[in-house]
Amino acid sequence: MKSVPRDISDSRADPLAFTVQTALSGEVREWLGYLANERRYSRHTLNAYARDLRQFLEFLTVHFGKDPDANDLNSIKPGDLRAFMARRRNEGLESRSLLRSLAGIRSFTRHLERQGKIQASAFANVRSPKIARSLPKPIGATQARALTDAESRAGENRDAWVLARDAAVLGLLYGAGLRISEALSIRRLDAPTGDIDALTITGKGQKMRMVPIIKLVREGLEDYLALCPWSLAPEGPLFVGARGGPLSPRIIQLTVERMRGALGLPDSATPHALRHSFATHLLARGGDLRAIQELLGHSSLSTTQVYTAVDSSRLLDAYRSAHPRA
């Protein structure tokens, strides 16, 4: 029985380099190009969507007994999709990943529909998996400040510039609400130092926003730049690794993992938790929800509103632990 080749998507390669010769390879290349060039999807999303589509095509190859083409996609029934979802469930896929998988496949079939090649109505009759919405887990203000302070790691056998670098990155996550990928994408010439108190960030979906940079964060960046032994090119990355190349996010993740033990933090204390802490602490101090939405770069206010539930939960916890009749 013929099977779809397994290299439609390689997470280490360019997802647009779709060279596999299948009945739908041309359509897949065109779709990925559309997502990259017109929708401005990130490389991570493109890789995930290409990988999900490959898995779906592999399933259809077995399901139909041949390499699927546009006519096969046109004949898909809701039962076929449910069978695919059941198989992925059995393989250990969680609801959130399964939902993303369906989103990618739907995007591909809608692309073919716009071209008049298929009428894939089956997707409208399949219920998407429900996701239990978990609340973000912020870190306390004192603990967040400790994570962003180079002095918290003074006892480590590491170069002073490395400690200052890590503190500067974490300072941007907590002090400006950046994602780790956003912080590490900053160029040297854009570094907010001295009197520069704002930074333009390009976030998800190539959406641009301007965030204020407070004095403490600027000072952390200046400390790092004063100690950094590498000559940083203006157009190059602001944050570099031990050999002068772009800093890997994994280095910052490992830094926080090491600090969790020293500071007595839970496993939920991650670099991204500092972004949650930024939003939660602003809200607790009376920050406007719309303003926080803009600072975080959320497209929808409903995404930001989850922090109101976090703040209410923290208030209830404090009430139950402190009120004599709680």
Residue-wise pLDDT for 187-208, tens only, equals 999 999 999 999 999 888 778 9
In CATH, the number for domain 141-269 is 1.10.443.10
- Annotated catalytic residue: which of 153, 275, 276, 281? 275
Q: Per CATH, which fold does 25-125 belong to?
A: DNA polymerase; domain 1 (1.10.150)
Q: Which residue has the higher pLDDT, 59 or 136?
A: 59
Q: What percent of the chain has pLDDT over 90?
A: 39
Are 122 and 76 in contact by the 8 Å Cβ rule? The answer is yes
Whether 179 sits among the annotated catalytic residues: the reply is yes
pLDDT average, residue stretch 14-41:
76
Number of Cβ atoms within 10 Å of the Cβ of 310:
19
Average pLDDT over the chain reads 84
Whether 272 sits among the annotated catalytic residues: the reply is yes
Q: What is the largest CA-CA distance in the chain?
A: 71
The reported pLDDT for the residue numbered 7 is 38
- Annotated catalytic residue: which of 179, 260, 276, 281? 179
pLDDT average, residue stretch 218-238:
97
Between CA 324 and CA 326, with CA 325 as vertex, the angle to 5 degrees is 100
- Annotated catalytic residue: which of 54, 165, 281, 298? 298
Least trusted range by pLDDT, from 71-80, 114-123, 316-325: 316-325
What does each C-alpha distance from 280 to 168, 170, 275, 285, 292 come to in angstroms?
21, 16, 9, 9, 9
Q: Which of 33-47, 89-103, 142-156, 296-310 has the highest mean pLDDT?
A: 142-156
One-letter amino acid for residue 201 of the chain: I
| pLDDT band of 164, cuts 50, 70, 90 | very high
The reported pLDDT for the residue numbered 155 is 80
Is residue 10 predicted with pLDDT exceeding 60?
A: no
Least trusted range by pLDDT, from 67-81, 105-119, 130-144: 130-144
The reported pLDDT for the residue numbered 317 is 61
Whether 63 sits among the annotated catalytic residues: the reply is no
321 Cβ partners below 8 Å, 6+ apart? Answer: none
CA atoms of 313 and 290, how far apart (whole Å) = 20
What does each C-alpha distance from 146 to 16, 98, 134, 138, 167 come to in angstroms?
42, 37, 26, 14, 9
Least trusted range by pLDDT, from 106-110, 117-121, 224-228, 275-279: 117-121
One-letter amino acid for residue 188 of the chain: R
Is residue 18 predicted with pLDDT exceeding 60?
A: no
| pLDDT band of 216, cuts 50, 70, 90 | very high
Is residue 6 predicted with pLDDT exceeding 90?
A: no
CA atoms of 188 and 272, how far apart (whole Å) = 23
Is residue 146 predicted with pLDDT exceeding 70?
A: yes
The string of pLDDT tens digits covering residues 275-303 is 999 988 888 888 888 888 899 988 887 77
What does each C-alpha distance from 188 to 97, 171, 191, 213, 225 come to in angstroms?
36, 16, 5, 15, 10
The reported pLDDT for the residue numbered 219 is 96
Are 274 and 174 in contact by the 8 Å Cβ rule? The answer is yes
- The number of C-alpha atoms within 13 Å of 88 and in the hemisphere containing its C-beta is 26
Whether 110 sits among the annotated catalytic residues: the reply is no
Least trusted range by pLDDT, from 64-68, 121-125, 143-147, 263-267: 121-125
The reported pLDDT for the residue numbered 316 is 57
Q: CB-based burial of residue 35 (10 Å sphere; 0-12 exposed, 13-18 middle, 19+ buried)?
A: buried
- Annotated catalytic residue: which of 100, 158, 204, 314? 204
Whether 258 sits among the annotated catalytic residues: the reply is no
Assigned token pair, 3: 């099977």
The reported pLDDT for the residue numbered 20 is 46
Is residue 247 predicted with pLDDT exceeding 90?
A: yes
pLDDT average, residue stretch 174-185:
95
Q: CATH 1.10.443.10 occupies which residues in the chain?
A: 141-269
What does each C-alpha distance from 87 to 2, 79, 94, 249 come to in angstroms?
19, 12, 12, 33
Whether 307 sits among the annotated catalytic residues: the reply is yes
Q: CATH 1.10.150.130 occupies which residues in the chain?
A: 25-125
Query: Which own/partner pairs from 29-34 qualify as long-range (CB within 8 Å, at least 24 positions apart)?
Result: 30/111, 31/107, 31/108, 31/111, 34/111
